[in-house]
Structure 1
Amino acid sequence: MEPLITIVGATGTGKSKIARDRSGDSLQWRDYQRCVGLDEEPWRIGTFRKESLRLIKEIHSRGKLPILVGGTHYYTQAVLFNDTLVGEGVVEEDQGVEKEQKGIPSDSEMWSILDAPADVMQQKLREVDPAMADRWHPNDARKIRRSLEIYLQTGRPASEIYAEQKRQKQAVAESKHELEAVNGHGTEGAGQLRFPTVLFWVHSEKEKLNSRLDKRVDAMIEQGLLAEARKMWDYIQEKQSQGITVDKTRGVWISIGFKELEPYLNALREGTASEKELEALKQSCIESVKTSTRQYSGKQVRWIRNKLWNALAEADMTHRLYVLDSSDVDDWTRRVTEPSERVVHAFLSNEPFPDPKSLSELARVTLSEKEQQSPSPADDVAKCITCEVCRKTMTSQKQWDIHINGHAHKRALKAAAKRAQREEFLRSRSAPKEDADGSTKDETT
């Protein structure tokens, strides 16, 4: 058996802390990290997956237990599961790396459309794959580009590939139990876990976590976050002086911290603001860091609740996801360390697992909510729907249903009806009226 422990959760919940906690002699902590420099290309998901699998294999070869700790769950999921949808960016990004290594022109060089504005790319995508074009929000350039890229690379619409791979995954699921009887730990098919895996979701009550995140940002500021952002800002200025434009839409440049503090750094350079104005701007930028951190935390939780849970459900492995309540860090041993030790012991000893809902009240509520949700077929397929009244675009039927039943939409409908009545009244007032003798006159004159 080549077991794997995976730890997921929102930022600030304590993922790294639990990874470092010792569970007997079985867990030997060794931190594998690699920082990408400002001059380096950011790691693509395919590169991350390949390097992670290499390290997992190396750890297994030493008879140790690897622990995968993930905050960017999009990347973590690519390691956990056998390759599934090409649209998740694994297969084609690997091909892209191979192209670069062989000196073959990149996709952007071969197809300039991939560097076009989002609306231009979406129009092209609508020509070759209208089903995918309807999925994405007009402003979601990354997803539009990805769908168009799949078509250019494979010659097939991404929607067609999705449908085919979904059928394959369903076929694998149907034969899963028979295959388990043969190999003892699941299947090797697409969408199945690569390794015998237990997953810990380190979770906290929202209000307590938000308070903790705000304090964490304050601590980061004290520990030099502004100085680090200044180094990045200086790097951009140096490149600009050399006539080089830094793409701030990818890699480290979109990480939380720099972009929120950039207005303050720009104001420092301009030197026109007073000391009081600079301090106010600085505090405003720090508050923006806190807001972005809280929003990112919520996004991470939504990914686990939806994407990761659905992937585990398709693999019939939701019973391997354990929620650990880290709301009270002062009670860490009882709430996190001890429950995780019991699960790991059962996992490695091939003993019966504890009921995931038995670990805590938060675990019971969180997992019960997911189990009670009956996924709707409409929720599985993204499709953009635009409300012409509110001038807003929703990316799923679920979002659309919420929108049309919301107070904002109903207020907009009433306002639109009043405008229509007023315009009709003004038109009727200004329209020429016929006199008894058959002549007409303008009522407004």
Structure 2
Amino acid sequence: MLSVRSIWPGRRAIMDPLIAVVGATGTGKSKLAVDLASRFNGEIINGDAMQMYRGLPIITNQIPPAEQNGIPHHLLSCIDLEAVAWRIGKFKNETLRLIHDIRSRGKLPILVGGTHYYTQAVLFKDQLVGEGPNDEDGFEPTELDSTSDKWPILDAPPEILLQKLREVDPVMAERWHPKDTRKIRRSLEIYLQRGRPASEIYAEQSRLKREAVQNSNGLLRFENTLIFWVHAEKGVLDTRLNTRVDNMIDQGLMSEAQTMSDYIHKKQSQGIQVDHTRGVWVSIGFKELEPYFTALRQADVSQEELEDLRQPCIESIRSATRQYAVSQIKWIRNKLWRALLEANRTDRLFLLDSSDINDWKKCIAEPSEKLVQCLLHNEPLPDPKSLSELARAVLGAREDQGDDQPSKCYTCDVCRKTMAGEAQWKIHLNGHGHKRALKSAAKRAERDAYFQRQSQKA
């Protein structure tokens, strides 16, 4: 086992290595983290919000103790059931403290988890805006209470929200599609919370980013960071996730979910309402089964009726798990990639193909070990696209697209449609539908002109 100190004695404070493992649920992140920690004398920091809750190892997909190989796992199973999930700032500060502590003992910190707005806050330096779980445009809510209680306009119909946003922040109003109510609402909420248009804050953030790059300070918090993206082909992953849900059922998921349901029922009988929209109560596997446990408490529901309800609930867990994986991958493709692009460090993101789980050593273990060796010995890293065909296809596609974040919306008065981003606008203009609409509009204009001339003659 290698020691971080033994590789470059006296240079630890200069190197400050950090390994991060990201990816969708079910791809093998936890196994890779344990493999690397075992090989390079590391300790693991959990970056999954749900896995921080104790007493629910199955429903939160915690790595079993038998598979931890004696490696210390920090921030795993560490908060009580009723606790609110940690806010980004708290997670970041505690993780940075742990990283410093792990390094001080000559060990390698490995951050692993699927709550990617957590891991990204650690990977990149403080900026004016951070990423939040329900906030795609970049601000973490500053209040725990509902902001609509303070600003009732936030509960207004979408058209009213957009009209108000046009008054206070026309730049952001132009950016969002009229049907994208959540983003419109969030932009208006930012203005109400901060007293400044979100567009101004974004502009200031961009300026600070440019200055950081120009001053060679970099945007990565730790220069010697290596990010492993454990990925798998969609069809393979979907099948794997369906099987995993079935295994979780066999291992006791129903029992854990019932414990959660009984806890809520007990609190309600005491006149205490539990917020189902926060904390562990939003974990996949509980909310989908709640209708079943509600029916289970009703004396007039037969066993046959319960079983008819149980199966659709389990299928909902499978579907929600697959959808969650899609959202995790989307985050990496868009937000993490964009942050690395702005930092000029896309060369630090390495995709590992876990599609063939039986070939783990060749596809995952060996290439990841070689990359960490290169990092720790300060040797040149290979082109991330060279690791596999999947890496070449996925990362190559992202490089070709660059930073494709929509900057504004375009409305076609002819077709009465609104497109988000210049790319979609160009596609629309060159589409057959738009061209047919132009011809129809020209014919209507010609017909109207003809009737107008006839009326004037009369």
1:149 deviates by 4.3
1:299 deviates by 1.2
1:289 deviates by 0.5
**Structure 1 residue 24 and structure 2 residue 63: aligned?**
no
The answer for the alignment partner of 1:288 in structure 2 is: 316
In the TM superposition, what whole-angstrom CA distance separates every residue of 1:97-116 from its partner, at most 9, and x where no partner exists? 9xxxxxxxx68499344874
The answer for the alignment partner of 2:96 in structure 1 is: 53
Pick from 142, 145, 150 the counterpart of residue 111 of structure 1.
Answer: 150
Distance 1:340 1:136, change over 3 A: same
TM-score normalized with structure 1 length: 0.76
**Structure 1 residue 318 and structure 2 residue 346: aligned?**
yes
**Structure 1 residue 381 and structure 2 residue 407: aligned?**
yes
Q: 1:140, 1:230 → 2: CA distance?
A: 36
Where 2:229 maps in the other structure, the secondary structure is strand
In the TM superposition, what whole-angstrom CA distance separates every residue of 1:270-310 from its partner, at most 9, and x where no partner exists? 34443233212211111111011111111111111111111
* Contact residue 341 and residue 403 of structure 2 kept, 8 A: no
The answer for the alignment partner of 2:206 in structure 1 is: 166
Distance 1:15 1:117, change over 3 A: farther
1:405 deviates by 9.2
- Mean CA deviation greater in 158-167 or 356-365: 356-365
The amino acid of 1:56's aligned partner reads I
Q: 1:236, 1:137 → 2: CA distance?
A: 39
- Trace 1:89-104 onto structure 2 (pairs within 5 A): 89=132
The answer for the alignment partner of 2:59 in structure 1 is: none
- Mean CA deviation greater in 334-343 or 25-34: 25-34
Aligned length: 388
Q: 2:427, 2:320 → 1: CA distance?
A: 24
The answer for the alignment partner of 1:258 in structure 2 is: 286
The amino acid of 2:230's aligned partner reads V
* Contact residue 351 and residue 387 of structure 2 kept, 8 A: yes
The answer for the alignment partner of 2:11 in structure 1 is: none
Where 1:88 maps in the other structure, the secondary structure is coil
Q: 2:35, 2:222 → 1: CA distance?
A: 25
The answer for the alignment partner of 1:351 in structure 2 is: 379
Q: 2:94, 2:411 → 1: CA distance?
A: 39
Identity of aligned residues (%): 56
1:129 deviates by 2.5
TM-align CA RMSD: 3.5
The answer for the alignment partner of 2:330 in structure 1 is: 302
The amino acid of 2:32's aligned partner reads I
* Contact residue 131 and residue 140 of structure 2 kept, 8 A: no
Q: 1:11, 1:232 → 2: CA distance?
A: 22
Q: 2:233, 2:147 → 1: CA distance?
A: 44
Where 2:108 maps in the other structure, the secondary structure is coil
The amino acid of 1:18's aligned partner reads L
- Trace 1:40-439 onto structure 2 (pairs within 5 A): 40-86=83-129, 88-89=131-132, 108=147, 111-113=150-152, 116=155, 119=158, 124-133=164-173, 135=175, 143=183, 146-173=186-213, 175=214, 179=216, 187-188=217-218, 191-376=219-404, 379-381=405-407, 383=409
The amino acid of 1:167's aligned partner reads R
Q: 1:385, 1:326 → 2: CA distance?
A: 42
Q: 1:227, 1:404 → 2: CA distance?
A: 55
Distance 1:381 1:171, change over 3 A: same
The amino acid of 1:30's aligned partner reads P
Distance 1:285 1:388, change over 3 A: farther
The answer for the alignment partner of 1:426 in structure 2 is: none
The answer for the alignment partner of 1:37 in structure 2 is: 80
Distance 1:47 1:315, change over 3 A: same
* Contact residue 46 and residue 89 of structure 1 kept, 8 A: no
Task: List alignment gaps of at least 5 residues for structure 2.
Answer: 1-14, 44-70, 441-458
Distance 1:296 1:272, change over 3 A: same
The answer for the alignment partner of 1:4 in structure 2 is: 18
* Contact residue 217 and residue 289 of structure 1 kept, 8 A: yes
Q: 2:72, 2:333 → 1: CA distance?
A: 29
The answer for the alignment partner of 1:438 in structure 2 is: none
* Contact residue 169 and residue 197 of structure 2 kept, 8 A: yes
- Mean CA deviation greater in 270-279 or 40-49: 270-279
* Contact residue 165 and residue 184 of structure 2 kept, 8 A: yes
The amino acid of 1:11's aligned partner reads T
* Contact residue 193 and residue 315 of structure 1 kept, 8 A: no
In the TM superposition, what whole-angstrom CA distance separates every residue of 1:314-357 from its partner, at most 9, and x where no partner exists? 11101111111111111111111110010000000011212222
* Contact residue 3 and residue 197 of structure 1 kept, 8 A: yes
